[in-house]
Amino acid sequence: MRGNAGFATSLAVILTVLLTAPAAAQSLKPFKDELFAYPAILSTGDGGAYEVVDYQEARDINARDEIPERRVQGKYVSTGVRKVQKDLVLRSDLGDIRHVAVGTTENARFITLYLHGQGGSRKQGVDDFTFGGNFNRIKNLMAANGGLYLSPDFPDFGEKGAAQVATLIAHYGERSPSAKIFVACGSMGGGLCWLLANNPAVAPRLSGLLLLGSHWDDSFLASPAFKRKVPVSFGQGSHDTVFPVEKQEAFFRSIRTKSKAYPTRFVRFETGTHGTPIRMTDWRETLNWMISASP
């Protein structure tokens, strides 16, 4: 009996290792996690899919930045990643697509795009020192994990802009056919996220959408990405005066009402404003969740 019990235990351990190894191999390795982890979780709901995170301007901006909102303290960044950063132009039938690429452009394991909001540019998404160093973190996370980070320019937040971003995704997706592709959309850039989710050529390649201080679109509930159960993460400041948090929360819950098993999460930054999710979103924690939940 003891021999059988020992064999069963050993078998269980082996199966656990075999089953969890692929997921572990796909997860992103840590990078300054102790600095970028959420300060505190004030409350949770929706079975853990909804979190309220403690945010304090005095701590999370004034005490974090050398120059508030302009330059974070040096310990939050690692600028060596600039060695694998290039400002590029993709020539296409839709015009020149200017973009910054960080990391490997061939056979990448992961591809993350950041689509800026009104008044932004490709330069915003690669600025090492603004937004608390959070863009520097995603650059380092991609580069250190065999991934690619892209921050493009685009002409608008409608069909033309979405078409150019789709072209960029297709271009790099062909060079990294096994890559998981995540698209993060800040503010007005959310319009592009929803258009890409409705694009039948793009949706099959998506592994996650991140809406950072952005807006809602009911058409997503009938989109190809929704049907594939592409993970969606929302980050919103409770004092966002551009896109009210209550409306984005209502949209989050409409997704869960439509499909209770849908992989979606909502992080509410209490007292945070419009740009808070770009500064405070924990890239590694969010992307690792998407990797585990992606179709």
DSSP string across 11-56: HHHHHHHHHHHHHHHHSPPPSSHHHHS-S-EEEEEGGGTEEEEE--
Residue 15 binned pLDDT confidence (cut-offs 50, 70, 90):
very low
Q: Quick one: 115 exposed, middle or buried, by C-beta within 10 A (0-12, 13-18, 19+)?
A: buried
Average pLDDT taken over every residue of the chain: 93
Query: For 184, which DSSP code?
Result: E
Which SS3 state, helix, strand or coil, does residue 196 take? Answer: helix
Return the pLDDT at 25. Answer: 55
Distance CA 253, CA 239 (A): 19
pLDDT at 14 over 80: no
Return the pLDDT at 169. Answer: 98
Return the pLDDT at 12. Answer: 41
Mean pLDDT over 201-224 rounds to 98
Mean pLDDT over 157-163 rounds to 98
Mean pLDDT over 114-143 rounds to 98
pLDDT at 241 over 70: yes
Amino acid 229 reads K
Domains of the chain: 36-293 (3.40.50.1820)
What are the pLDDT digits (tens) for 54-88? 999 999 999 999 999 999 999 999 999 999 999 99
pLDDT at 107 over 90: yes
pLDDT at 3 over 90: no
Residue 26 binned pLDDT confidence (cut-offs 50, 70, 90):
confident
Return the pLDDT at 2. Answer: 41
Q: How many helices (H) and strands (E) does the chain have?
A: 10, 12
Mean pLDDT over 281-286 rounds to 98
Residue 1 binned pLDDT confidence (cut-offs 50, 70, 90):
very low
Q: Determine which of 23-27, 72-76, 206-210 has the lowest per-residue pLDDT on average.
A: 23-27
pLDDT at 9 over 80: no
Return the pLDDT at 223. Answer: 98
Quick one: tokens of 169?
Answer: 């995704």
pLDDT at 158 over 70: yes
Mean pLDDT over 19-28 rounds to 58
Please say whether the beta carbons of 251 and 262 come within 8 A.
no
Please list the residues that pair with 234 across neighbouring strands: 211, 266
Phi, psi for 226 (deg, rounded to 5): -65, -40
Phi, psi for 257 (deg, rounded to 5): -70, -40
pTM of the model: 0.91
pLDDT at 225 over 70: yes
Secondary element (H or E) of residue 85? strand 85-90
